[in-house]
Amino acid sequence: MAGRTMDETGVPLPPLVVIAGATATGKTRLSLRLARAIGDIEIVSADSRQVYRGMDIGTAKVSPSERALVRHHGIDLVDPDEAFSVSLYQRHVLDALATIARRRRIALLVGGTGLYLRAVARGVPLADAPHDPELRARLEADLVALGLAALAGRLQSGAPTVAARTDLSNPRRVVRALERVAAEGDRVPPEPLGYPAPVLWLGLSVEHATHRTWIAHRAAGQYAGGLVREAARLADRFDPSLPSLSAIGYREAIDVARGRRSTAEALAETIVRTRAYARRQRTWFRAEPGITWLDATYDPYPAALPLVRAFLESAVPATR
């Protein structure tokens, strides 16, 4: 059941089911239903904001009661003021997957952070670029003084290969890309090693008008469920300008807590940002090969369950 090993680490990895898709498409709900129906499953989150402790409501993190029913990994790894990267995520998840394999169980990798999914399920080799605090400070100052467009243009002209693979609408990623280019040059990313055990990619898609409605309803539920209180507690403990607290919903909710905007204004902005993020996610996943897409506008579970069962029967015939 443990399968082969990943060349870079030597750790055994289990069969893997990936559930990918844009935010608010029902990935968590489907993963929990599959885990309960099939058994012997542990869930690994692939969400770059759920790694932060205390950021629960705004990241739609699974509840403690849900985690008590199904073991989860990749959640609550660091505080919002601690540095975190996709390389650290990959290392954590490979360790978790090795543990899952030793327990002779199956892993569901669930989330919408495309680079996290790719790092694990496609075995992308990663290494942290050297961190230069002085360079980072200069780039951050340029971002404030010159604006995002100027820094994105600098990246495009000086490192077109890296620029083509960077979300140029995200200031943190542009700054990080410029920092990496200074250390490593305009390098073509290494080829994926591949996942060294059987893997099934499933994707959830939702009709656009319905998806827009779901996003709005979820955001409204988060504000009604205490997002402003959660954000205020975080802002009291940590610097509100931290990159982690720029996450969708938190920046707006902190503004409400500090009296800088109304709840209605914050909710509207959160919905706008979430819909824009969902568009970027859909663009990313369209370029990912080998995904079996399921229409989640209605219930994707009846279609997903036989696909996962058939995959498991072929991947681990001795135990199914």
| pLDDT tens profile 228-244 | 999 999 999 999 999 89
HSE, CB side, 13 Å, CA atoms: give it for residue 189: 20
pLDDT in tens, 217-226: 999 999 999 9
**How many whole angstroms separate alpha carbon 5 and alpha carbon 246?**
37
Residues with Cβ within 8 Å of 5's Cβ and at least 6 positions away in sequence, in order, are 11, 12, 13, 196
What residue ranges of the chain are covered by domains with CATH 1.10.20.140? Answer: 133-184
Q: What is the pLDDT of residue 127?
A: 61
Q: For the domain bounded by 133-184, which CATH number is listed?
A: 1.10.20.140
pLDDT tops 80 at residue 137: no
pLDDT of residue 37: 97
The domain 16-125+191-315 is classified under which CATH number: 3.40.50.10470, 3.20.20.70, 3.40.50.12280, 3.40.50.300?
3.40.50.300
Helix axes 133-146, 148-158, angle to 10 degrees: 120
Give the Å distances, CA to CA, from 120 to 83, 86, 190, 278.
20, 10, 14, 21
Tell me the per-residue pLDDT of 177-203, one tens digit each, with 9 for 90 and over: 898 888 778 887 677 788 999 999 999
Res. 3 pLDDT band, cuts 50 70 90: very low
If pLDDT is split at 50, 70 and 90, which confidence band does 130 have?
A: low
Whether the pLDDT of residue 270 is over 90: the answer is yes
Question: Which residues make Cβ contacts (< 8 Å) with residue 286, sequence separation at least 6?
Answer: none
Residues in the chain: 320
Provide the 10 A C-beta neighbour count for residue 41. 22
Q: Where in the chain is the domain with CATH 3.40.50.300?
A: 16-125+191-315
Percent of the chain with pLDDT over 90: 74
Beta bridge partners of 294: 204
